[in-house]
Structure 1
Amino acid sequence: MSDSPLPGLPIGYRSRPATMTDVEAIHRLVAACEHRLHGRAMTDADGIAADLGQPGLDLASGTVLVHDHGGRPAGWGWVRGRRSTVDVHPDHRGRELGGSLLAWVEAGARSMGGDRLAQTVPDGDRAAVALLRSRGYSPLVTEWLLEIALPDEPVAPEPPEGIVVRPFRPGDGRAVHQLAEDAFDEWQQRRQSYEEWARHTVERATFEPAASPIAFAGDQMVGAVLSLNGPGKDEGNSEGYVERVAVRRDHRNRGIARMLLREAFRAFHAHGMRTCTLWTHSDTGALSLYERIGMTVRRSSTVYSKTLTPRLPGDLVRGQ
């Protein structure tokens, strides 16, 4: 694929759209960012593949990969609808790459007819926070990464009366998708198609059915936890990760979510994992639930949002 110049790109760098063959290279870039910020990688390669393969993302027009003069990835970004991501390799920060990439995703969102753009940034990444704030972004919601240590086998409470629990089975995907989308309707901005949802959950290579318990009341699915094997196996610090927790509205406040989470923790412990994590955010109101079962906040991120206005020709964003 021929290079596609990124407006405002510093001298010595070149850019082109990303492809699925770039997954490993992008993963190394993202892992380097996470190592610098958190001391460990938090994203695995199949998470990058899920982002690049999300339905509706046109790789040719919705992604960009920046290389330095030696051909090494220095930064990347993608934009789809109102969501975007920008990452700059730690060795290439301070060279205005972040500003150039941010201008690119904003221009991409405008070209798609978008009037607003959001991006999630770790609260510990002060340079990225400062760049977004300087460009008119404001906080929208707070996200927390919670963790629980599993030194001993967790004890799962008995299911509530009339509730039966079993692990995820092949063929459960569409019913769990319906359950989750119905449960999240009260706070999510839009419903995900099954294809989009599955790409980030049950179709991922790291999906762990044994740690994904499902609750039934009779023949009705009323709750589900979907889990992944987290990154870090090569570094000796693998941990379980809960990707989704959903309980049907008319069965809430019965202890079903707590029970399902404990079942997932127990399965991860049986697989030799001694830590489990999950993300939640302020719109869900679920933080207190997770804290009651012994989870604590490891770190936080903020979703920043900006209203997009038409930009004058030749305008250039400078930054990170």
Structure 2
Amino acid sequence: MTTIDGLPAGLSTRPLTLADAEAVHAVIAAEEVVDLGESEMTVEDVVADWQRPSYDITASTIGVFDGDRLVAYADHSDADVAYTAVLPDHQGRGIGTALAHWLQDRARAAGSARIGTQVPEGSAADRLMADLGYAVRWTAWDLELPPEREVAARPLPDGFAIRNAEESDHEIVWTLLEDCFLEWSERERMSLEDFGARVWGRPGHQPWNLRLLAAPDGRVVGATHVFLAGEGAYVARIAVRPDHRGRGLAPAMLVDAFARAREHGAVRCYLSTDTRAGARGLYEKVGMEVASTWVNRAIAL
């Protein structure tokens, strides 16, 4: 058992294991229902993140228990990235503050200069972080395509085609998506192994979840990672190589991703973006609407 200063009496703590993924998801989902009206996170998201080869669950997580019931958790997921959630009926007891201090200590010991997380704007977590001195780094949005709406996209240029990725494409996809996301994201390049754990190694992965855009000469110039989350389809990653932008390729890739997802039972389609990427306008132009607003807050250590 691990001790955390500031927790209410009667609660216990311990590092988490992969077997705790469903309990962690239940805590996250309960918080999201209060903050967003529904839960967006899935247990597959938790497992995909925790199964990264570089990640040490025991060293990076802490669970807070009331008897055998998990009521809160914290996760130092990456250098300056943390995740935490507290069951709504246990909020206001100092648990969130205690976990914030634990995460700061964990990140500091790992050599990080700052630690932060992304939370729904105006939520209890957002208010707590503001009170604790966490400053906003950027704003993010979940955008949804209403069920009755289609993305109007231009036909692909002659010779271009969208297809499922094959195993031989994995390193090419990793390079393309990481190159594109690192144009604006301030982080280290994710290893191929960690990237794969979150994409083709994600529980339930199917071939249609990873789609490639191939140029006439066969080169991969775009990629989309889309998967089902309950009744929704979530586009986790979409990118086009810089030398092929401005040709209407991204809307065509969205049309393809949403169509494949609807074929597999999705009734709603959504994705996330933030102020660093500058892509909100593009998604709104194709008919997507803001469904929720988030803020990423961090504190220097």
What TM bracket, shorter-length normalisation?
Answer: over 0.9
Q: 1:152 to 1:131 in 2, by over 3 A?
A: closer
Q: Residue in 2 aligned with 1:272?
A: 265
Aligned partners of 2:49, 2:210: CA distance in 1, in Å? 22
Aligned partners of 2:121, 2:206: CA distance in 1, in Å? 29
Q: Residue in 1 aligned with 2:185?
A: 188
Q: CA deviation at 1:208?
A: 4.3
Gaps of 5+ in 2: none
1:163-312 map, 5 Å: 163-189=160-186, 190-217=188-215, 218-230=217-229, 232=230, 238-308=231-301
Aligned partners of 2:13, 2:106: CA distance in 1, in Å? 15
Q: Residues 95-132 of structure 1: CA distance to partner in whole angstroms, max 9, x if unpaired?
A: 1000000000000011111111111111141x212211
The one of 45, 68, 71 equivalent to 1:71 is 68
Q: Residues 42-65 of structure 1: CA distance to partner in whole angstroms, max 9, x if unpaired?
A: 111111112322343322221100
Q: Residue in 2 aligned with 1:47?
A: 45
When normalised by structure 2's length, the TM-score is: 0.94
Q: Residue in 1 aligned with 2:94?
A: 96
CA contact (8 A) 1:208 1:229 kept: no
Aligned partners of 2:82, 2:150: CA distance in 1, in Å? 39
Q: Residue in 2 aligned with 1:120?
A: 118
Q: Given residue 6 of structure 1, which amino acid in structure 2 is its aligned partner?
A: I
Same amino acid, percent of matched pairs: 34
CA contact (8 A) 2:16 2:62 kept: yes
Aligned length: 298
Q: 1:287 to 1:153 in 2, by over 3 A?
A: closer
Tell me the SS of whatever aligns to 2:168. Answer: coil
Give the alignment's Cα RMSD to 1 decimal. Answer: 1.7
Please state if 1:144 is matched with 2:137. no
Aligned partners of 1:141, 1:262: CA distance in 2, in Å? 28
Gaps of 5+ in 1: 233-237, 309-320
Aligned partners of 2:58, 2:110: CA distance in 1, in Å? 13
Q: CA deviation at 1:169?
A: 2.8
Tell me the SS of whatever aligns to 2:212. Answer: strand
When normalised by structure 1's length, the TM-score is: 0.88
CA contact (8 A) 2:152 2:286 kept: no
CA contact (8 A) 2:153 2:248 kept: no
